[in-house]
Amino acid sequence: MLNTYTFPEFDYQRSPDQDAAKPVKHPVVVVGAGPMGLAAAVDFAQHGVPVVVLDDNNTVSVGSRAVCYAKRFLDISDRLGVGQRLVDKGVTWNIGKVFLDDEQIYSFNMLPEEHHRRPGFINLQQYYLEEYYVDRIAELDKADLRWKNKVVNIKEENDAVILTVDTPEGEYQIQADYVVACDGANSRVRAMCGLESKGQIFQDRFLIADVVMDPKKFPPERWFWFNPPFHEGQSTLLHRQADNVWRIDFDLGWDADPEEEKKPENIIPRVKAFLGEDVEFELEWASVYTFTCRRMDEFRHGRIFFAGDAAHQVSPFGARGANSGIEDIDNLVWKIKLVLQGKAPASLLNSYSPERVFAADENILNSTRSTDFITPKSAVSRVFRDAVLKLAKNYNFARPLVNSGRLSVPPFLTESPLNTEDTSVFNCKVVPGAPCTDGPVIRNGQDDFLLSCVGNEFNGLLFVEGRQDLTPSILDELSQLAAQEVPVKTFVIATHEMDVSLPVGVELLVDKVGAVNQRLDAMPRTFYLTRPDQLVTARMRQFDKAAVVAAQNKALGK
Ligand SMILES: Cc1cc2nc3c(=O)[nH]c(=O)nc-3n(C[C@H](O)[C@H](O)[C@H](O)COP(=O)(O)OP(=O)(O)OC[C@H]3O[C@@H](n4cnc5c(N)ncnc54)[C@H](O)[C@@H]3O)c2cc1C
């Protein structure tokens, strides 16, 4: 098989902790340097929180795993300083097409709106994603990434978590105020805590064949076939990745023998039947996978927080694994930081599990429905599925019923205990609990996007029509918000440049094409409060400082 990627081998390095007389205590230890552990490390380090990351391995993800990263993943990666590299290397796509037998029945657009910084999706091999995050960690002096450091024991005692770590030079112990367990689907930390992830294992097998071929063969789109002539009775999914690698997923059914199916002599005829005898390609990777939808009851266990696949798992249809895992990290890190700094009560940490369990349930529901639709488990389900597919070609109403993997969008945390209830009427979907929307802005005379400005701290968005909306008392109140122990830094959003002197902690953004005003249904003095993870936590038709302080206190778990 052809290798287009050279897997890095990271050195094991002895840590001074291994020579300490007693276990050294760190504020945060992250277990696992997969996508989630790496993202957590970057986020903590960017927030100025020293973090140790322990991984049992010394390279990035081997094989073909995650491919599709949604807009929200990219928005978060932008905040973490990796987004541009992902987009530059990845294959951008917004269009998906669905085929039945030998004809296309419809297509859809993952980002029907213009004026967002990021596309609906990019496709990129998981190993590149991890490599870029490892590179980002190297730029940050607060993150200590330790390869070939395997956590073999974990226990909570008094006010600390004690971890026993195995290395090529033997075992040592460290302590942590908090541990983030990102050690994957078979989480050893979870098992060592006596906890389980419960759910459904699907009786089906898919073959992944990654092939290198001419980039002009297919456009950069997601194509899904039900019952194609080249793979009768089954389904097939096609995605283009970086380096002209194409990912083909063939449904094999439960009775297929994974070892036989992985053999090149069995794969190559399948791929040729699909691509045509005359298309040249080389096989880069092949594997057979089964899938599971499950989650832990709670994502917090004392001082240990579970994130990513350790906490919840979905089938790959809908691309919700890494896409939801990074939202866990986005949700957790700012909370731990503020609690460690004594700026928020420890009770703030109680919000992590209910917020992310709510999101996991939505993802598991969507993923289970997709899996049931793609591989019907009963004759009745198959009849329903086939009828929907036939109708979808000519009738729009049937298309929402077709489920070839409802693709990842961030769940809106509408039930969050941190939200302030809406008391005024808005005609837009950016409700408390939703991620803030994006739109082009001008910042200091330069083109930018709203989501590049918002995040890492509490932000206010104050919409103004003109200078008359910025009275001296409002400016004074914005200044007071910015000077709090946990500041609220406000962006004044105007429709045009204004010559106005703003206090420290308040900045002007010009809504370049009006998209931000329109998407947030803004009126003069409308105010949105966002959390450090860019989620809207409160909104009000008229700025009211006392209401902002109350909403921020609620969002801080006070
Ligand atoms: C076929 C397939 C396709 C997929 N496609 C997509 C997709 O398109 N989009 C998407 O969003 N998701 C997709 N996923 C899911 C995605 O790959 C996972 O959700 C993601 O890898 C989870 O990241 P993680 O960091 O939680 O866990 P992992 O990636 O599993 O990383 C866990 C890390 O912990 C380390 N570790 C384990 N035990 C220990 C220990 N005791 N001590 C120290 N370190 C330890 C491991 O070595 C590893 O580095 C796909 C998955 C599969 C299998």
Point out the least confidently predicted range of 124-133, 169-178, 191-200, 390-399: 390-399
| 68 burial via Cβ count (<10 Å: 0-12, 13-18, 19+) | buried
Q: Is the CB of 316 under 6 A from ligand 1?
A: yes
Q: Whose CA is nearest to atom 9 of ligand 1?
A: 319
Asked if the model's pLDDT at residue 218 lies above 80, the reply is yes
| pLDDT the model gives residue 217 | 84
Question: Cα of 146 to ligand 1 centre, how many Å?
Answer: 18
Give yes or no for a contact between 340 and 328, defined as CB atoms under 8 angstroms apart: no
Mean pLDDT computed over 296-301: 98
How is residue 121 written in tokens? 């999706």
Question: Cα of 69 to ligand 1 centre, how many Å?
Answer: 14
Q: Are strands 488-494 and 458-464 parallel, antiparallel or unpaired?
A: parallel
CA 465 to chain centre: 35
pLDDT band at 337 (very low <50, low <70, confident <90, very high): very high
CA 17 to chain centre: 32
Mean pLDDT computed over 28-47: 98
Q: Whose CA is nearest to atom 31 of ligand 1?
A: 34
Closest by Cα among 176, 180, 140, 134 to 48: 140
Asked if the model's pLDDT at residue 376 lies above 90, the reply is no
Asked if the model's pLDDT at residue 216 lies above 90, the reply is no
Q: Whose CA is nearest to atom 13 of ligand 1?
A: 66
Q: What's the whole-model pTM score?
A: 0.96
Beta strands in 214-353 (DSSP E): 222-226, 235-240, 245-251, 281-289, 292-296, 300-301, 304-306, 312-313
Mean pLDDT computed over 272-286: 91
Closest by Cα among 113, 143, 127 to 40: 143
Q: Is the CB of 40 under 6 A from ligand 1?
A: no
How is residue 73 written in tokens? 């993943």
| pLDDT the model gives residue 233 | 85
Q: Which of 9, 36, 64, 296 to mutate to test the pocket of ligand 1 (most atoms within 8 A of CB)?
A: 36
Separation CA 86–CA 305 (nearest Å): 27
| pLDDT the model gives residue 489 | 98
How is residue 63 written in tokens? 């094989």
Mean pLDDT computed over 416-441: 96
Separation CA 229–CA 225 (nearest Å): 9
Q: Is the CB of 271 under 6 A from ligand 1?
A: no
Q: What is the pLDDT of residues 179-211, one digit of tens each?
A: 999 999 999 999 999 999 999 988 889 999 999
pLDDT band at 378 (very low <50, low <70, confident <90, very high): confident
Q: Is the CB of 318 under 6 A from ligand 1?
A: no
Question: Measured from the CA of 291, which atom of ligand 1 is nearest?
Answer: 53
What is the average pLDDT score of the chain? Answer: 95
Q: What is the pLDDT of residues 40-82, one digit of tens each?
A: 999 999 999 999 999 999 999 998 899 999 999 999 999 999 9
How is residue 243 written in tokens? 């380096």
| pLDDT the model gives residue 318 | 83
Asked if the model's pLDDT at residue 112 lies above 80, the reply is no
Question: Cα of 357 to ligand 1 centre, how many Å?
Answer: 18
Question: Cα of 259 to ligand 1 centre, how many Å?
Answer: 22
Q: What is the pLDDT of residues 12-29, one digit of tens each?
A: 999 999 999 999 999 999
Amino acid, res. 154: I
3-state SS, residue 478: helix
Separation CA 296–CA 428 (nearest Å): 33
Q: Look at the block and give the residue holding tokens 């908090």.
A: 178
pLDDT band at 377 (very low <50, low <70, confident <90, very high): confident
| pLDDT the model gives residue 1 | 60
Q: Residue 343 has what DSSP assignment?
A: S
Question: Measured from the CA of 323, which atom of ligand 1 is nearest?
Answer: 11
Q: Whose CA is nearest to atom 37 of ligand 1?
A: 183
Asked if the model's pLDDT at residue 266 lies above 80, the reply is yes
Amino acid, res. 51: V
Q: Which of 173, 294, 309 to mutate to test the pocket of ligand 1 (most atoms within 8 A of CB)?
A: 309
Q: Whose CA is nearest to atom 15 of ligand 1?
A: 321
How is residue 554 written in tokens? 């609620």
| pLDDT the model gives residue 2 | 64
Question: Cα of 304 to ligand 1 centre, how many Å?
Answer: 19
Asked if the model's pLDDT at residue 531 lies above 90, the reply is yes
Q: Whose CA is nearest to atom 35 of ligand 1?
A: 32
Give percent above pLDDT 90 in the chain: 84
How is residue 210 written in tokens? 């990654």
C-alpha separations of 542 from 335, 474, 483, 503 in Å: 28, 11, 21, 20
Question: Cα of 325 to ligand 1 centre, how many Å?
Answer: 9
| pLDDT the model gives residue 371 | 85
